[in-house]
Amino acid sequence: MSGKGSPEVSVQECGDLRVAVVAAQWHDTVMAGLVAGAMRAARELGTGEPALLRVPGSFELPVAARALARAGYDAVVALGVVIRGGTPHFDYVCQGVTQGLTQVGVETGVPVGFGVLTCDNEEQALDRAGLEGSSEDKGHEATTAAVATAAALRSVV
């Protein structure tokens, strides 16, 4: 399980943070779980209901995340899933999304939660989507990480 060794993250005084979630539309079932986990995490953290923006696929996440960061959100959560196929397309999409989302965070100073699953098959994606029977909830984890980082940054800004 890839979540082994994950830290226990505690976040305080983040109720006034503005959070946005940008989510791809490919793989309905997996995405429904990721989005539900992200929304649940935001409620548990006390930030209220995040803004939700849907884009066609994972490749479109960076440009939407950048727009949300520039629109004044304190934390942005990017959710998507890319499943390996029989061509190099998987590698190009995963690399582009990862680099793009990293660039958004570095350029804007807004934390971007990385909730993009890069899986060999649908079974792996379902196991990480936070659905009933899943071993992990990456939507929840990505939201918690983004909000915790935004809260931490308050001490240096």
- Check whether 81 is labelled as a binding-site residue: yes
Distance CA 74, CA 150 (A): 6
151: amino acid identity, one letter = A
Distance CA 110, CA 96 (A): 19
Catalytic site includes residue 140: no
Q: Is 147 exposed, middle or buried (0-12, 13-18, 19+ CB in 10 A)?
A: buried
- Check whether 87 is labelled as a binding-site residue: yes
Do residues 21 and 38 lie in contact, with contact meaning Cβ atoms separated by under 8 Å?
yes
- Check whether 13 is labelled as a binding-site residue: no
Angle (deg, nearest 10), helices 28-45 and 138-153 = 40
- Check whether 86 is labelled as a binding-site residue: yes
Pick the catalytic residue from 63, 89, 99, 154: 89
- Check whether 82 is labelled as a binding-site residue: yes
Distance CA 35, CA 43 (A): 12
- Check whether 59 is labelled as a binding-site residue: yes
Binding site, residues? 26, 58-60, 81-83, 86-87, 114, 128
Binding site for 5-amino-6-(D-ribitylamino)uracil, residues? 26, 58-60, 81-83, 114
- Active site residues per annotation: 89
